[in-house]
Structure 1
Amino acid sequence: MARNAHDHVHEMHRGASLEHAARESLEKAGEQWTEMRAAVFTALAGFSRPASAYDIAEAVGAARGRRVAANSIYRILDLFVASNLALRVESANAYVANTHPGCRHDCIFLVCDSCGQVTHIDDEHLSNGVRAAAEKARFAPVRPVIEVRGRCANCVAKGEQSPPPQA
């Protein structure tokens, strides 16, 4: 795949490698990797699609054998987003584990309206363009998030239709 001068290569993590990278990144930021934070990250990383705080609370509760309040999960997810361990899919109010937590970048999501799958892509040229446009408008961007709604390749191939847009 050709890369432009603005792109860089990400070290993608999975499984135990992802949890190790997340822990290392959080501790490097001066935060503690507690048992509860580890449980939340493990649950989040275990989802194949974006997960809500309620989904994560249910998974953590099932793993621990006791109910976990969603507000506790939200606090941890806020920390994870601020620390770059998780990415928030704004339009779905859901989260995905960042598979390269040591790399700061803007979020570009492709959101399938048919199956709910979210693909995170990196395009620093596009991200830099959005930041430049914001700055030109005398706006100081903090965290640009771009979400493209549509259908993924699998759903297109199956002929699945997107639900009608909500008003």
Structure 2
Amino acid sequence: MYAQHEHSHCIETAVEAAERICEDRNLRFTELRRRVLELVWQNHGAAKAYDLLEQLGDDYSAKPPTVYRALDFLLENGLVHKINSLNAYVGCEHPLEHKDCFFLICSNCEEVAECCAGDVAKSLRDMVAKSGFKPTHTTLEIEGLCQQCQAG
């Protein structure tokens, strides 16, 4: 999905957004939170907490709860999304701009693309409202093959 893509630009943009959001909310964007966000954005696949822990190595002497707290902070502030089916995290391309997220997950290369489809979100909200259900979070995950993997 992101063939020949420059991830450093994604990382830089994500860190800038995080700094802005933390400043606006008077929150601390610690070095560990920054590093976890950078690691999540190193590629467009989903990052598992234990893989992040391994990548952090001895630099932060982090333990699993430390990484999970950093991920929870990033999640709560709209900087990452959790892909429930993979129990993993991806960077948010549009922090705090929307609540309804749709993801295309390639089962071959394991990259994840975030989709913004207001009409789909509205249809889902309307359907849910008719049932009397009050959602707190919406995530739609679609698994298949991206264009590059289909081409072979």
TM-score normalised per structure 1: 0.78
**For the residues of structure 2 that align with 1:42 and 1:115, how far apart are their CA atoms?**
20
SS of match in other structure, 2:81: strand
Deviation at 1:121, TM superposition (A): 0.6
1:48 and 2:44 are equivalent in the alignment: yes
Matched, 1:16 2:1: no
Query: 1:127 aligns to what SS in structure 2?
Result: helix
- The alignment status of 1:146 with 2:140, answered yes or no, reads yes
Distance of 1:111 and 1:28 partners within structure 2: 32
Match 1:97 to one of 82, 86, 91:
91
The residue correspondences of 1:68-107 to structure 2 (distance < 5 A) are 68-107=62-101
| Structure 2 residue runs without a partner (length 5+) | 1-8
* Deviation, structure 1 residue 61: 2.1
Question: Would you identify which runs of 4 or more consecutive aligned residues in structure 1 move more than 6 Å?
Answer: none
Instruction: Provide the C-alpha distance between the structure 2 equivalents of 1:14 and 1:47, rounded to a whole number of angstroms.
Output: 9
**Structure 2 equivalent of residue 26 of structure 1:** 22
Higher deviation after alignment, 40-49 or 115-124: 40-49
Specify the code of the residue in structure 1 equivalent to 2:24.
K
Whole-angstrom distance in 2 between the partners of 1:110 and 1:119: 5
Indicate whether 1:157 and 2:141 are aligned.
no
Deviation string 1:26-62 (CA, Å, 9 cap, x unpaired) is 3323321112111211221223311001111112226
1:66-95 deviations in Å (ceiling 9; x for gaps): 542122111111121111000111111111
Letter aligned with residue 106 of structure 2: C
How far residue 111 of structure 1 moved from its aligned partner, in angstroms, is: 1.0
**Partners in 2 of 1:121 and 1:36 — Cα distance?**
28
Q: Which of 35, 38, 50 is residue 34 of structure 2 equivalent to?
A: 38
Cα deviation, 1:102-142, whole Å, max 9, x if unaligned, reads 42231101111122111111101101111111111111111
Percent identity over the alignment?
29
> What secondary structure, in the 3-state scheme, does the structure 2 residue paired with 1:149 have?
strand
Q: How many residues align?
A: 144
Within the candidate set 49, 53, 56, 1:57 is matched to 53
Q: Secondary structure at the match of 2:26?
A: coil
Q: Could you tell me the TM-score, scaled by structure 2's length?
A: 0.85
